[in-house]
Amino acid sequence: MTKLPGNAGVSLLGDKSLEFYRDPVSFCQQRIEKHRSRMFLCRLMNRPTAFICSVQGMRELLCEKSSLFLKDPTDLMTNMYGDTIVTTNGKHSHTYKMSVYTAFKSLGTELVLGLFLNVRAEKQPELFQEISQLCTQHWHGLISAPVNVKVPMWSSGFSIALDARNKLMDIIKDKLENDKEGFVGSLGSLPLPDSSSAAQHLLLFISALIPKALASLLTSFTLALARRQAAEDPDYLCRVLLEVQRLWPPFIGGRRIADQDSTLMGFHVPKDFGVIYISHAVHRDPEVFQEPDAFLPERWSGRNEGHEHFLCSFGNGPRSCIGAKLTNVFLKEACVYLLNNFDWCLDPPVQNLEYKWLPVSRPANPPTVTFTQRDHTLSVYFCEGF
């Protein structure tokens, strides 16, 4: 059993949270090089925390030893969503120039509100707009300091998010009681053990998480294909989507708390230590992915064929994201529609595409892309197994 490289410093003074949140990718890369290890120790959120930047460590944490590392019951997800299965331990030719991230996020919002809550923008525009704004305010609570402060003429971001959560819960409960159609009607009729369970899970399903994940991946997909033209066949599209997910995971990672003394990658992890896996670093582990920084969709039909389980964009193991498959369905359908109906390019052709990684990965400067509608439609294809 080996001691973790690095140190946690002293309480408060040794905390590296601000440095991490400014640039998590550089933060991890510097320490990987310094310690010559893809697992190291720092203090994050004033808790000694082991950072995992390898496929091996991620798989141990999320799969093989998932029962030893628990969700943090005090984290912001629990405050914002309550007790859920995620937070608990347990026509003629047209040309469109647009900011793609914003457009795709709007698409994702329409999808989740229509699917889960029976609220459609064209039929109930005022309610749709109200819920969309509340979801945005609620999301901001996840990236705010957890300080619930209200004074005259000002409220903290966390306080505004909690108020938004309460208003969303009121809307959701009303839908559960009065809407008997679709998903919300089916969910409302289930004999759940807790009267608030259905509402809390609907809050999770309609939140900004799915739209932002979808917008992140679709933006990366359009930018990747604007730079590198893909052959239009289903197998290649599947490989492109896997490579997009590998290089530009929508979320930076996830955090656990050690429930007892344990080991990861042979390093000792004491009870109550935090453990965080960094998806950007895991996905660029050179032991698994050769030329880790290169966009190479063909790797998924070669050395990394069958290695989809090495990705952790949506977690991994028994506690992986409940919405991962649904997001992938949305993603595939959107990509197929774009490929069959539009050509696109960066406009202007040279833009700063440097990424920011928190709270969701996307270009720091919103890119603009011109979509030109095709005069003909190609045969539709679908990816299996993505």
- State whether 113 and 204 are in the same domain: yes
Model confidence band, residue 378 (pLDDT cutoffs 50, 70, 90): very low
Residue 259 tokens, joined: 């429930």
Q: How many CB atoms lie within 10 A of CB 75?
A: 16
79 domain residue, yes or no:
no
319 plus 241 within the same structural domain: yes
**How many domains does the chain contain in total?**
2
The CA distance from 115 to 119, in Å, is 8
Residues 212, 341 within the same domain: yes
Residues β-bridged to residue 291 = none
Confidence (pTM) = 0.84
Q: Which two tokens stand for residue 33?
A: 């090089």
64, 206: one domain: no
Q: What is the pLDDT of residues 317-338, one digit of tens each?
A: 998 888 888 888 889 888 888 8
**Largest Cα span, the chain:** 68
């604007």: which residue's tokens? 226
- Structural domain including 218 reads 98-118+179-373
pLDDT attached to residue 105: 92
Look up residue 143 and give its two tokens: 């990236």
Residue ranges in 141-263 assigned as alpha helix (H): 157-178, 182-188, 197-206, 209-227, 234-247
Q: What is the pLDDT of residues 56-92, one digit of tens each?
A: 999 999 999 999 998 766 555 555 555 554 555 654 4
Per-residue pLDDT of 258-310, as tens digits, reads 999 999 999 999 999 999 999 999 999 999 999 999 999 999 999 999 999 99
Cα–Cα distance measured from residue 342 to residue 353, given in angstroms and rounded to the nearest whole number: 22
CATH number of the domain that 295 lies in? 1.10.630.10
Whether 23 is in a domain gets the answer: yes
Q: Please tell me whether residues 253 and 303 are part of one structural domain.
A: yes
Q: 2 and 267 in contact (C-beta within 8 Å)? A: yes
Task: Give the rounded distance of the alpha carbon of 48 from its chain centre.
Answer: 24
Spatial distance between the Cα atoms of 232 and 297, rounded to a whole number of angstroms: 13
Tokens coding 41: 């120790």
**Is the domain of 16 the same as that of 114?**
no
Backbone torsions φ then ψ of 161, nearest 5 degrees: -65, -40
Q: Do 315 and 252 touch, CB atoms closer than 8 A?
A: no
> Which residue, of 72, 89, 109, is where some domain finishes?
72
Residues 284 and 203 occupy one common structural domain: yes
Same structural domain, 111 and 257: yes
Of these ranges, 28-37, 100-109, 156-165, the one predicted with the greatest mean pLDDT is: 28-37
User: Which pLDDT score is estimated for 73?
Assistant: 60
Claim to verify: residue 220 and residue 270 sit in the same structural domain: yes
What is the mean pLDDT of the segment spanning 350-373?
Answer: 91
Provide the residue type at 106 as one letter.
S
Domain assignment present for residue 53? The answer is yes
- Domain boundary among the residues 72, 87, 110 is at 72
How far apart CA 246 and CA 224 sit, in angstroms, is 12
Is 168 inside any structural domain?
no
Are residues 220 and 282 located together in one domain of the fold?
Answer: yes
Cβ atoms within 10 Å, residue 109: 23
109 and 31 together in one domain: no
In this predicted structure, the answer to whether residue 216 has a pLDDT above a threshold of 90 is yes
Q: Which pLDDT score is estimated for 92?
A: 45
Give a yes or no: residue 148 inside a domain: no
Within a domain: 265: yes
Instruction: Give the span between the Cα atoms of 314 and 325, in whole angstroms.
Output: 10
β-strands 47-52, 274-278 pairing:
parallel
**Is 128 part of a structural domain of the chain?**
no
Q: Does any domain span residue 3?
A: no
Residue that the structure tokens 């929508």 belong to: 250
Cβ burial of 183 (10 Å; 0-12, 13-18, 19+) is middle
Please state, in angstroms and rounded to a whole number, the distance separating the CA atoms of residues 285 and 293. Answer: 10
Do 68 and 103 reside in the same domain of the chain?
no
